[in-house]
Amino acid sequence: MAEKRPTILQIIPELDTGGAELSTIEIADAIERAGGRAIVLSEGGRLVQRLRDTGAQLQFFPAAAKAPWRLLWNARQIARVVRRDKVDLIHARSRAPAWSALIAARYTGVPFVTTYHGAYSEKNAVKRLYNSVMARGDTVIANSHYTADLVRMRYGTPLARLQVAHRGIDEARFDPGLVAPERIAALRSAWGVAPGDRIILNTARLTAWKGQGVLIEAVRLLKEQGQLDDAVLILAGDDQGRSGYRASLAKAINDAGLKDKVRLVGHVDDIPAALLAAHVAVVASIEPEAFGRAATEAQAMGTPIIATDIGAPPETVLSPPRFGPDAATGWLVPPSDPARLATAIAAALALTPEERAGMGTRSRAHVLQSFSLTAMKQKTLQVYDALLGTRLARS
């Protein structure tokens, strides 16, 4: 087995925006660079070309299906792929396709790995059973210590089957020195931001638990208190079909008298330039983030970050009062608390240029040391090696 070029199959519903999708592509790239063969089963999406650029093979597959009969049909099809393409290991990154992948893995005898990407809600026994597939891997990769603790608490998963691999930041892509000023100017122009205005940036898909409504209310409070000044809020995210929620945000903006201060700009591809355009970035989630890549991306670009104090952001953001002004990289605030969020935004807007530069330098150093993409790839390949007896991580 050690001499054979291992074939790793990853399965994910779509290749659109999101941490799980990006991690799929990043690990496919790591597999190919290490001398393995990467296959991804997915329905596709805007990141298809980015996956193909890694050298991985994309096989279009109805991976988003959830009907029980379709999951069983998918399991049979995955088993056929395993045999036809001589797949050595299946790695599932989402619940519905994970059930099909688990059945196929057990049927064909290949190892089964899951990555627990989200802090999935469990409101009843049926949902708990549905979620539990993500803890049924021969190895379960958790994207943070918060997630690992959640898996152990919910399912009693032994430590021997759990591995923590924090989501990694692409050090080359998220490098302030490589973003041309023209990229920043193009975004500001597209967003209709005046040259002297400062940007409060939220990069998250438009869904209620991401807290855009709380952030709008915080901005309303800042304006009411005379602390908003030249700042504008940019909500950068796709509604992914949630047109009703987007409409509710537009109404909240209008009702708060903030039409000149808040922009709903849709999906943004150039996140590094968006973060450099911003004076402060905000993760306003009102439910726990299993990791929260937006917080580490902001810090990698040297942008002050405010995040809610739930889930994994406390692992990634160095915040007062635990860290002093010479060590802090941002602020942590309670979820669903627009007043506390407004206070933190005001503090970020009040930073002197020297204070902001110092925080940016600390932030980037912190992320590169603890949350690099190289480390995430290495840890994931080590999981594959442990199950297959291969040497991908050494390559």
Domain extent listing, the chain: 7-168+372-388, 176-370
pLDDT computed for residue 51 by the predictor: 97
Confidence check: pLDDT of 358 > 70: yes
Per-residue pLDDT tens for 314-324?
A: 999 999 999 99
Per-residue pLDDT tens for 42-92?
A: 999 999 999 999 999 999 999 999 999 999 999 999 999 999 999 999 999
| Under 8 Å between Cβ of 158 and 130 | no
The third-level CATH classification (topology) of the domain covering 176-370 is Rossmann fold (3.40.50)
Q: Which H, E and C letters describe the chain, residue by residue? A: CCCCCCEEEEECCCCCCCHHHHHHHHHHHHHHHCCCEEEEEECCCCCHHHHHCCCCEEEECCCCCCCHHHHHHHHHHHHHHHHHCCCCEEEECCHHHHHHHHHHHHHHCCCEEEEECCCCCCCCHHHHHHHHHHHCCCEEEECCHHHHHHHHHHHCCCHHHEEECCCCECCCCCCHHHCCHHHHHHHHHHHCCCCCCEEEEEECCCCHHHCHHHHHHHHHHHHHCCCCCCEEEEEECCCCCCHHHHHHHHHHHHHCCCCCCEEECCCCCCHHHHHHHCCEEEECCCCCECCCHHHHHHHHCCCCEEEECCECHHHHCCCCCCCCCCCCCEEEECCCCHHHHHHHHHHHHCCCHHHHHHHHHHHHHHHHHHCEHHHHHHHHHHHHHHHHCCCCCCC
Mean pLDDT, the chain, as a whole number? 95
Question: 283 vs 213, 216, 305, 312, CA distance in Å?
Answer: 12, 13, 8, 12
71-98 exposure pattern, b = at least 16 Cβ within 10 A, e = fewer: beebbeebbebbeeeebbbbbbbbbbbb
Confidence check: pLDDT of 387 > 60: yes
pLDDT computed for residue 3 by the predictor: 58
Confidence check: pLDDT of 209 > 80: yes
Task: Tell me what percent of the residues of the chain surpass a pLDDT of 70.
Answer: 99
Per-residue pLDDT tens for 333-343?
A: 999 999 999 99
Q: Is the pTM here over 0.95, yes or no?
A: no
pLDDT computed for residue 2 by the predictor: 46
Does domain 7-168+372-388 match CATH 3.40.50.2000?
Answer: yes
| Under 8 Å between Cβ of 145 and 291 | no
pLDDT computed for residue 249 by the predictor: 97
The neighbouring-strand residues paired with 10 are: 40, 91
Domains 7-168+372-388 and 176-370 equal at CATH topology level: yes
Across the range 290-315, mean pLDDT stands at 96
Per-residue pLDDT tens for 128-176?
A: 999 999 999 999 999 999 999 999 999 999 999 999 999 999 988 999 9
Task: Tell me what percent of the residues of the chain surpass a pLDDT of 90.
Answer: 91
In the chain, what is the greatest distance between 2 CA atoms, to the nearest angstrom?
67
Confidence check: pLDDT of 345 > 50: yes
